[in-house]
Homo-oligomer: A and B are copies of this chain.
Amino acid sequence: MTAAFDDWMKTVQAGSENDLSGFLPAATATPTKLHEAMRYALLGGGKRVRPLLAYAAGALFDADAAIVARAAAAVEMIHAYSLVHDDMPCMDDDALRRGKPTVHIAYDEATALLVGDALQSQAFVVLAEADINIIPPARLAAMFKVLAHASGSAGMCGGQAIDLDSVGLSLSLAQLEQMHQLKTGALLRAAVVLGALAGKDLNAAEMAALDKYSRAIGLAFQVVDDVLDATADSATLGKTAGKDAADNKPTYVSILGLEPSRALAETLRLEAHAALAPFGDKALRLRELADLIVQRKA
């Protein structure tokens, strides 16, 4: 990672934190407990991978900053809501997230349920309030379509359902890949595509290149997650390590082994770079993000 990339990343992360706060109702607005808990779930933590991807993809086409900010925040709200619901007792039953008590621990289960529901709605509010004098409404409608599909049963929720159904089963590599492409890949792709759509309508070749890049980083993200779950400690991760093995969940490490998983992540990093070739220098940040996703330690 270069110092310039590091500076860019910190700038986007700080800007996203600020945008996310601005796009949420105030904690003093009724119902205050729900709004406080939404802020607790969304603010003050996280690597902001999805906003980083949205901004990096926006840079491909010099997208308007106000529209990229909405794209980034909308995707991050969907991600944050999914974490709140996934952590609940009826799902993964996890007490720790980003080094803090999860929402149902810090508040209660009913509040956690509502926080997730309301954050999903808020993601669509954030897109819906984009200024259609800046972004053509037909393009905004395309952004809605991408986000809604990525969130639902053909995307993130569908992946989570497959994940639940596969506990204790022995999955093939292809089945594991399908599950992760839905569970995490769909939303990472949405971050990339929404960021790019903030800049211009995408032609078929551009969409195909972004899809190829998204597929590669989506899988790499999960492979590296599995490697870290098997090798890092809870304090570094900010969440309970070794949980997948304890829950008897299929992972890349359990199917392929540790070293082959690391090699796969590196292959996917190179695939991501190759997919970006048509965009030239404008894709610098997207290339660096692929490196970050594969080389991260937490």
* B25, A118: Cβ atoms closer than 8 Å: no
What's the interface size class on A, roughly?
A: 35 or more
Interface residues of A in 134-149 (CB under 8 A from B): 136-138, 140-141, 144-145, 147-149
Interface residues of A in 257-276 (CB under 8 A from B): none
Interface residues of A in 144-178 (CB under 8 A from B): 144-145, 147-149, 151-155, 157-158, 160-162, 164-165, 178
* A113, B88: Cβ atoms closer than 8 Å: yes
The verdict on A250 contacting chain B, using a C-beta distance below 8 Å, is: no
Interface 0/1 of A39-50, CB less than 8 Å to B: 000000000000
* B90, A153: Cβ atoms closer than 8 Å: no
A120 to chain B, nearest CB (A): 5
Copy number in this complex?
2
- A123: nearest residue on chain B (CB-CB)? B148
A37 to chain B, nearest CB (A): 9
The verdict on A128 contacting chain B, using a C-beta distance below 8 Å, is: yes
The verdict on A114 contacting chain B, using a C-beta distance below 8 Å, is: yes
The verdict on A204 contacting chain B, using a C-beta distance below 8 Å, is: no
Interface residues of A in 74-131 (CB under 8 A from B): 81-82, 85, 88, 90-91, 108-114, 116-118, 120-122, 124-125, 127-130
A159 to chain B, nearest CB (A): 8
Query: Per a CB cutoff under 8 Å, which of B25, B90, B141, B155 touches A154?
Result: B25
Q: Which B residues are CB-close (under 8 A) to A203? A: none
- A122: nearest residue on chain B (CB-CB)? B152
* B144, A127: Cβ atoms closer than 8 Å: yes
Q: Which B residues are CB-close (under 8 A) to A91? A: 110, 113
* A162, B31: Cβ atoms closer than 8 Å: yes
Q: Which 6 A-B residue pairings sit nearest by Cβ, starting from the closest? A: A121-B152, A90-B109, A137-B137, A128-B145, A124-B148, A34-B161
